[in-house]
Amino acid sequence: MTLDDISWVEILGGSVRIPAVQEELRSKLKNKLGVHMNGDDSMAFGAAFIAANYSSNFKLAQRLEVYHGNTFEIFIRLKNNEDENRPLCSDDFDGLAEHCIRKLNKAATLFKVRHGLDISKTVSMKHDGNFDVFVYQRFPGEEEKLLITYKITDIRESLSSLLKDGINYKPKVNLRFKLNRRGSVSLTVIIF
């Protein structure tokens, strides 16, 4: 959004009563500033309505919907680990091999803007080597920003017993991402 997309900004709080603060905000917001609401009452009423929504003891004539979620998109890129010392397998190879590793270069959106909080998403794939997971945030109309990098290692070592027993299949890797109530992303890796 740009400032032209915004029709009005209502501000609340103690420091907004200071004339110099109001004047500075008016100049930045092109006179789209409002101070019509009582800050103390508004905060108390808002908290009471939200509490009533989550309570089974209070009934509201009309439910007040409050939607929580990130104001940005969270997406991932998966790539082979640069420290991997095995060559890439050919595209038609479909098994588990000692001499090569499958190429990995994928991207996926995990959580869209305002998708919600305290939710999970699982990304599944077949892969048998070390790889990196890059987690990015992207605000609408802006460049992405790297949030965190996960290095997934020792996948091959965990499968050594399968190779010794002559089992030759590509393992399935589940990457379970969780977006908590604070907006932080965590990752759990399951290999089978």
Contact indicator for 133, 79 with CB cutoff of 8 Å: no
* 50 and 77 both lie in a single domain: no
Residue 182 lies in a domain: yes
pLDDT at residue 79, as a whole number: 93
Residue 21 lies in a domain: yes
CATH number of domain containing 184: 2.60.34.10
* 79 and 168 both lie in a single domain: yes
Q: What is the pTM of this model?
A: 0.63
How many domains are contained in the chain?
Answer: 2
Residue 9: other Cβ atoms inside 10 A: 14
Mean pLDDT of the chain: 82
Contact indicator for 51, 60 with CB cutoff of 8 Å: no
Which tens digit of pLDDT belongs to each residue from 139-157?
A: 888 889 999 999 998 877 7
* 114 and 165 both lie in a single domain: yes
Residues 91-98 have a mean pLDDT of: 63
Q: Name the DSSP class of 60.
A: -
Query: What is the distance between the alpha carbons of residues 42 and 24, in angstroms, rounded to a whole number?
Result: 23
* 110 and 144 both lie in a single domain: yes
Range of the domain at 123: 73-191
Q: Percent of the chain scored above 70 by pLDDT?
A: 85
